[in-house]
A and B are shown apart, each in its own frame.
Chain A
Amino acid sequence: MSAGGLTRRTMMIPAPRDVAVDRDSIASLFLAAAEGDAAAWKALVEGMTPLVWSVIRAHRLSDADGAEVFQTTWLRLTQHLGRIREPEKVGSWLASTARHECLKVIHAARRVSPVGDLEILDRGSGGDTPEDELIRSEEAAADSERVRQLWQAFEELGETCRRLLRVLMASPRPHYSDVSSALGIPVGSIGPTRQRCLRRLGALLAERGVR
């Protein structure tokens, strides 16, 4: 499969490697935060924000709506700090809460402005983060083009695939129970759907000669 060429090595892109934010450490951080440890809360937030953001983007919320759901999800977690029965499931709780808030925003249809590939791609080229600078630099131009083509192909996938992959690409890779909570789908369906979707993505990339 040609997509095999799209590995970290060939893309030369520094990205946060799957740092160890495992279930145990998340549970410990959560319990410490519940006891009043602000540093633990910060670490918990930093470990879990990519998952929450991925859930929001999987539901195609705009930047504005996404920001509100994101903040509300975390504000609500602070309210549940002292009421947790199973802190190791905080990832599932966050994913599920974000999902339900996303669905409400969609139901309210307050500001319907789904995130399209153009918005994302514009953002990618217009920012000024170190990553953006890197991706704009000359030597990274080829990699940048590859990333754009990958993202474009991803956006062309059907809704089921796009949604699942958007959650799965959270960093660190989410547990399937969290993905299940994020999308309201059975855990058992995730593996097979993931494989089908990634193969389709690989085929799309192959069609356009992306290696």
Chain B
Amino acid sequence: MNGPPPDTDGPGGFPAEPDGPGSFPLGTDGRGRFPGDPDDPDDPAEDDAEAGLEQALRDAAALLDPVPTELVQAAVDAYTLRTLDAELADLTFDSLAEPVLVRGGRQPRLATFHAPGVTIDVEITVMGAIGRVLGQVIPAQPAEIEVRGRRPADVSADAMGRFVCDEVPPGPFSLRCRFPAAVVTTEWIVI
């Protein structure tokens, strides 16, 4: 192991390099590999005695544990939820991604989203199958906030930048915050 992998939730989108030493150098054989690379999954060296069994597993997975069709459709539909007009606020902190330092300390979950000029802090408490999100916009300012996810809703941040989203069901969750000068959406997370 090379220690904990970099968290891709950080700013900047794609990680510069995937974990470990296996990142594919660019400008190799067009598929990002050196010809004859022993780690090449398509290298004939992997066409070994175990290859048939691996393929049998692949066939079994396609039969017994396929991707649910409705999920594929949902992923296709995700494209229409893009908010082209909005600045993206990256998830820069998520307490669920941190080691547990306090006994029994997974609630509330704290997350921070950051876009140029604005930070959005949220505190997420899940009771049973329903979540409650307390939030604050920094610097403090009013905003109209669209809660996106399983149960869309509209809430307002007050002059102190505080807002509450009640009855948020589990599932994908993102906020679209309309400020006087800008529109910012937070990275999708799972609540």
Contacts and interface: CB of A to CB of B under 8 A. Distances in A.
Given A184-B5, A186-B22, A198 B54 contact: yes
Contacts of B41: 173-176, 179
Contact of A96 (B19, B30, B50): B19
B19 A124 contact: no
A198 B53 contact: yes
Contact of A177 (B8, B22, B68, B71): B22
A160 interface: no
B35 interface: no
Contacts of A46: 72, 76
A180 B88 CA distance: 27
Interface string B1-21: 110110111001111101111
A9 to B, nearest CB: 9
Interface in B100-119: 100, 106, 109
Contacts of B62: 15-16, 131, 171
B179 interface: no
Interface string A51-82: 01110010000011001111110111111110
A3 B18 contact: no
B111 to A, nearest CB: 10
B79 A78 contact: yes
Contacts, number: 268
A169 B75 contact: no
Contacts of B32: 23, 88-89, 177
B174 A147 contact: no
Contact of A72 (B19, B49, B56, B172): B172
A71 B64 contact: no
Interface residues of B, number: 77
Contacts of B109: 108
B126 A110 contact: yes
B123 to A, nearest CB: 14
A120 B49 CA distance: 27
B124 to A, nearest CB: 9
Nearest to A104: B96
Contacts of B22: 176-177, 180, 186-188
Contacts of B36: none
A57 B94 CA distance: 23
A11, A170, A177, A179 — most chain B CB neighbours (10 Å): A177
A37 B46 CA distance: 36
A8 interface: yes
Contacts of A195: 48, 50
A48 to B, nearest CB: 9
Contacts of A88: 24, 26, 32
Contacts of B55: 7-8
Contact of B52 (A6, A151, A186): A6
Interface of B: 1-2, 4-5, 7-9, 12-16, 18-24, 26, 30-32, 38-42, 46, 48-50, 52-69, 71-72, 74-76, 78-82, 88, 94, 96-97, 100, 106, 109, 126, 170-172, 174, 185, 187-190
20 contacts: A15-B63, A52-B67, A67-B71, A69-B190, A70-B71, A72-B190, A83-B12, A84-B14, A89-B14, A96-B15, A104-B190, A105-B190, A108-B126, A124-B65, A148-B64, A173-B41, A175-B24, A176-B41, A181-B18, A191-B46
Among all A-B residue pairs, the 9 with the closest Cβ atoms:
A187-B22, A198-B50, A83-B13, A6-B56, A186-B20, A74-B75, A124-B64, A104-B96, A75-B188
Given A75-B188, A168-B57, 12 more contacts: A7-B55, A41-B76, A41-B79, A75-B78, A96-B19, A104-B96, A108-B109, A131-B66, A150-B56, A177-B18, A180-B19, A185-B1
